[in-house]
Structure 1
């Protein structure tokens, strides 16, 4: 501050006087205390360096005095500082004149601010320029407020334009009215075309609304408050618009209204929509009433007369008629509603050659014709002459169609003057013509019904006589159809299984031949290879130092590893061929394609072959914990049976057990038990189930006292079968599986195979939450079939043919 004071004193010599020092000190204190930034530059030096700045300058700019003194003020400028303003400052400095500008400067921290800068030159007593004093004022807040206000005004103007709204102000005492540009646009005036008086505003109001608006405005001026007035205005081009005035009355201290201010908005679109809505509602009311009368009344003449009368009242026209066409292209007016003082034409026959030749086919295709003035319309003179004879000045014609047939015309006549028909009026007649067509069709149908009623009564007597016979025949046909469908499904499934058996047998045969070839030659190949290896060992023994080339080849082929691994490889191939032969044998045994007749077979072999085919579903993998199979086989003799069909039964039941365990947590167990029973055990099967499901009391009335039988039990620890489902599981086409996973024929055919084909019994026992067990009883003796229908099940199939086909494809 001392340095600044010394520099400050340099531009106004003190001359050693005490009073002047005091005054200078006071001036300096005053400058330091002001809120405006003050800088003093030395005009005698190039670039006008700053020699003084007050604390407010540092507060505004953030630059301390030590960073300011000796610099030119332009260090506050930025790239976006207005160059024109900068040039204005330079011009003032060159001409030694005062100037006041507003420019954008930057603080020390880089933030911008708006600076109102006033520069004043200072001269000594001799008139020589010594300094410039700059006063800075931060007006950023004011600039931002002005910008915000301007943006707000812009948004308001855009909003007013978008809403078709303007603002106005009325000084009641002077009668002066001020409008915005938007109001002038709404009233259809050019910019500045409004007279600016209350009378000029009243001249814009529609004459029919002017008195009402004047009364309301006067009353509002007296009582004050907010107001809303809707009225029409008349534009200079003669068109009419609807506006709504909203505003408030401002009062003076004694309560008198002195000013009104508010907004005016164009609501023509809303008014038109309201008018259209009212018209539409009236049309719907009219049409609904006509439609209700048509539904409730069979008096056609009354319905038609009421309809045309109501339409004439709605259209406010002079005549509405319903004109019916004859087969010779002539016609007659069958219904008419007419206003007073006009000529009636009801019942009049009309022969219009122009209509027949020029217009008939157009109306038959649904054409609607609206003529606003018959004298200016493009119609033939003969037709004009006809219309003039009926006093018609304008008309609206809508065809009445019954399908593709033109029944007649619905016509509205306006006789007093030409008329422009509105679209809503055309639509009304169009919809009415549809309703009238319905009424006409209903009347014709009623006549037909009356004519046919007698014939139907006569036919009903004959029908009642034959009704019982028809019901009985229908019942027989349904039963025959059900039997046919069941037999057809079984035959189709049997054919599929027969083809599948042939495929399995053929595939097994084709695989067996090359496998036998490979298996038969592996022993010889093994012996030959062993002989060669022995020969190599003799060479190594008798020629321990072979040639270098032989040594390199020995190392290249890794002879030691080859000698060790080659026998192992042959053993693996031998095991593989044995496994393939086992699978082929299982497929042949399972299909039993060459064993269509009954013959003694090993039941255990059939079960094992079935398990081998289903092995892929039993083995555990990454997504399946697998199923454990427990086999409790007894010592059984060979059973006289159809081996292939019985294998299908095993396949069906075991496959269903695997399906039942899919959602079951571990352990998943399927138990298969077999035992030999005699008569005393067949009479009452008292074998307790392994999973304690229940006691099985299975009576067999199909086996004589000396017979023996084999009992096969297949159980799982799944969720069980509900009692309601157990009653249906052997019914044809019944399945609980999703679409595409079962046909509902597997257990049905399995039942037929066991019971009808083998004289045995198939039973299911299940407890929900515990598990399910199937019991298959097969007699050892050859028992003839008792059911003739079993012929259709010669080749029993499973209900999961697709699953088995996939199994065979994997194998």
Structure 2
């Protein structure tokens, strides 16, 4: 320590000893200042701390069990070093302070605020500090109040020094010293002024309760806060208690008793207190008791803070949260199920709780002006009107029109409201004293009313309540409208399903009944052709040929219609199916067509799926047959591939089937032995392989297999990509490409029955790729 610092420390210690304060008994004045500091700063610990050579000695303390600590321990050195106010919001945020013994150990300081106690001569005698075990901040007014309280501590020290000096002089001279007495009086006056400054700077009301006399001192700020004048406030405890709102009075008294019994270190409670004009304000009341040597409570000092604005904000936020929760719940019910009864019941129940109304109901109107109470939430003791059909003879057509235009009716007291007497009489029978009514509109037509009733007393409806009911009325209207649309769509879907079933049944019966007469016509025509060919003239032979051809085409058409109608009505249950086996069967069924066209059919190793094996065979067979049929002036090449999950080429071997049907190496003519190769990358349409990623928006998801049949045929324009899947739709005449125009429609119907989709990507002269999907999740579902 440098010489100047040593000299300063010696002078400081000498100044401290002159006040003769160390190791003295507790004094009420200092205790009050410590308690007031804790109350103002809302901390559990406060200290009036004097620092001598080796220790910190606590003249007054709140919330601390020890009376002194070593000087080397603690945070008071910060005030000495800086000679100013020190506020540490969180000691753990400072690496140096985090290792201090009072941070790592008792009293586990996380927050510290200290003001140096500076004598009139500039010596730092100690600190007035507040401490908490959790991080926190102080407002500017709290810091100012703490500084003002530190000056009161110095005033008490000066007063003590003056009294001591006067006593010493009086003892020596044996007569009163008028000058010293004047100095003492002046010091007392300055102390009182600083005390009042602390009270006003805090902007709180201060009270001091003497439990022995049961008298309570209230500061001027406390009286101003509630609108009382001095002569309107007595110092009696009983009158004070009577100003507390009846709903909270018992709880406040219990909080006092808990503190008296030392169950709580502080008395802290928020409640409503009556103002001079009869209204109520919310206050935060804090206090600290003083006990005598026998352990009896003798005094309490505390403060009031007006928290009315804060409470109003909290209540508004609470209402907004409840309203948001209610809207979210109703919106969720609308999205999930559109169960109107459940939506309406939730509405009346939650609105009754939120508004604390005696009754909330939903009234459905009928064209004649009457209506029915379809939902109700009512408190016990009031008439229940759920399910009743009601008719208010005063409820004329003009009222309905006003509600249809969005009118809201809010009656605070029906006894004095400007309403028709017969309407007042109508409301009396249901014990209604005040009501709030909003319309429920469905597409500009009035469906009903949402009503809130107050039965016990008149009620003033505020904007929040009115807006709440209006918004809920709109939500109910939306739900009703969507429910009506859903019901209409359901009826249409049911009607469409019934119609489709009837059409399928008709197609099956009609085609089945046509089989026998057509078979007979065909047989006789063929008999005529065999017996009389070349015996009649050329025209007759041509006519017979036309008739036989037409009968054969009719037979094919009827068979195709039967197949189409049987997709849904005669389908087999889904079972695990090896697609490679299914494809082999389809190729076997097409051996003649493959051989005649010298077609080369290649395919990947295909997966197992849940499917109708017969129908899946038909899909592959129809698509391969089309690929062979619509290939002009070149050898048909067809490839069947598969992918799953994210887009990718199917794994496994790639097989090739030549015209002969035997496995071997396929030559240029397509009539060779089939060959086994690895899956190749996409190639040109003339040599189809696995296609590139489809550009169609119907790309596969991770829960389905994507199959494709790629050819090198004539292709088609993009505008016909959807038309070809419609029954009887053909792009070419029968003289160029035979067929009934039902094959792709059957494929589409089969794939949709399996829960998949089918589409085509093609360009004229560049071949086509037909895609279809089969869900792989079906393996888990069936």
Give the number of the structure whose alpha-carbon radius of gyration is greater. 1
What is the TM-score normalised by the length of structure 2?
0.36
What is the TM-score normalised by the length of structure 1?
0.34
Q: Which has the higher helix share?
A: 1
